[in-house]
Amino acid sequence: MTVIVLTNCRAGLRGFLTRWLLEISAGVFIGNPSARIRDTLWNEVQQYAGQGRALMAHTTNNEQGFTFRTHDHAWHPTDHEGTILIRRPDPNAPAVSQPSSSGPPAGWSKASKRRRYGRQ
């Protein structure tokens, strides 16, 4: 069993996936293709997703009985003592990029400026 979930992807990619999988809801595809077809589909998803996100879960012969892959997703699979878990980003972690000294870009609200730069 294979499940692919697309978010903010091109309609053409969704049409492509309907050749092998059934779309049971908008952007949610389910089916039972062979491993070779599944890997080919995932390569196509990665190539044509553009700015969108994708997640694929499929059955496999391990302790959990399934595994999953992500593409441009904030949550990442992490191996924890042989079990694959999803690691979510810490919302309280400091931002990776440092704010520029020139200030916020045009169009930011006053509340956003205060929150990001501590200005009153």
Q: Is the pLDDT of residue 18 over 90?
A: yes
Give per-residue pLDDT as tens, 88-97. Answer: 888 787 765 5
CATH 3.10.100.10 fits 2-89, yes or no: no
Domain ranges of the chain: 2-89
What's the mean pLDDT when you consider all of the chain? 85
CA 101, 105, 107 angle in degrees (round to 5)? 150
Is the pTM of the predicted complex or chain greater than 0.75?
A: no
Rounded CA-CA distance 31/120 in Å is 55
pLDDT at 120 over 50: no
Percent share of the chain, pLDDT over 70: 87
